Amino acid sequence: MNRASPTSIPWSALAAIVLLFGAIAMLQSRIDVKTSDFAIQKQELLLSSPQAIKKLSLGYDSLLGDIYWTRVVQYYGSRLAEPHPNFDLLWPLLNITTTLDPKLVVAYHFGAVFLSEQVVGANRTDLAIKLVRRGIETNPDNWYLCGDLGFLYYWRMKDYPDAVDAYLEGSKIPGAPPWMKLMAARVSAMGGSIETSRMIWSEIYESTNDKNVRNMAVKELKALKAQGDEEHLDEIAADYKERFGHYPTSTEELRAAGLVRGIPLDPEGYPYVFGADGKSKLDPRSPIVIPAQAPASSSAASK
């Protein structure tokens, strides 16, 4: 990290630094005090304005960022043993830390974990996303943070479109690992965007010489083709029921009714079958595996 190294510091500046570090020491000691009255703890965040602290740092931003990051870790760890921990100071401390040192990537990564954890954390995924997005803005060449953002949208929020966008953006950063594009493709398929997933897997197939990755892409493309076929057959089955009062029991009945040409086969050559609910599915003999569809969330459904 960059450290300021002025050759000459006026006495007034030295006095300001002493006062600043004295205030931080007071903050450290007070945060460590065990108290049941958390309202008092809120008032103990003496230096609550990140911008004000940055001005007072006199160029020692990174050093103070390190100190505040240490306080974040200590603050979080000291509350894990409590039966009903309260993490209200977590975001203010992280806000100060990353304002002082925007390049402190570890603070964005682990800070997002601390904020988003539901049981042993603040249960504030919204703030975790805000923190990581800030980190990406100030560290645009760091693919790791894009992976963190994709995880938050995918795992915490069940927001699949935004998760796909995060993984795709991260995959474009030089040095990003191949799994980021793979995650984008898989999350896209789970979230129901078959065309987007097919496009990504096709690009993966065309852009790599790795035999294992190409085989994986072929396998996923076959699954996506089958998934699309099933959705189309389900629509046809619904039309069949309107005409005949019951669902088809086989694709042969659809052919006999003139709703399909021939017998629809999956990419491995096996005929599709129908369940009692009128939903099509793969023949049990087919080696194709279609990924389970994730339930739609309010955030994902609104996109």
| Residue finishing a domain among 82, 114, 139 | 139
User: Would residue 191 count as lying in a domain?
Assistant: no
15 and 134 assigned to the same domain = yes
CB–CB of 273/283 below 8 Å? yes
pLDDT for 64: 86
Enclosing domain of residue 275 = 226-297
The alpha carbon of residue 275 and the mean position of all alpha carbons in its chain are separated, in whole angstroms, by 36
CA 96/CA 106 separation, integer angstroms: 14
Q: Could you say which DSSP state residue 57 is in?
A: T
CA 249/CA 280 separation, integer angstroms: 9
pLDDT in tens, the chain (303 residues): 444 444 455 655 555 665 666 666 665 555 555 434 444 444 444 445 777 677 666 677 888 889 889 999 999 998 888 888 889 999 999 999 999 999 999 999 999 999 999 888 999 999 999 999 999 999 999 999 999 999 999 989 989 999 999 999 999 999 998 889 989 998 888 776 788 888 888 988 888 887 888 898 999 899 999 999 999 999 999 999 999 999 999 999 999 999 999 999 999 999 999 998 999 999 999 999 987 665 444 344 334
Burial 290-300 (b: 16+ CB within 10 A, else e): beeeeeeeeeb
pLDDT for 25: 61
pLDDT for 17: 61
| Residue finishing a domain among 102, 118, 139 | 139
Report the candidate in 10, 41, 109 with the shortest Cα–Cα distance to residue 69: 109
User: Would residue 5 count as lying in a domain?
Assistant: no
User: Would residue 164 count as lying in a domain?
Assistant: no
What is the rounded end-to-end Cα distance, in angstroms, of the chain?
40
pLDDT for 15: 58
| Residue finishing a domain among 107, 139, 171 | 139
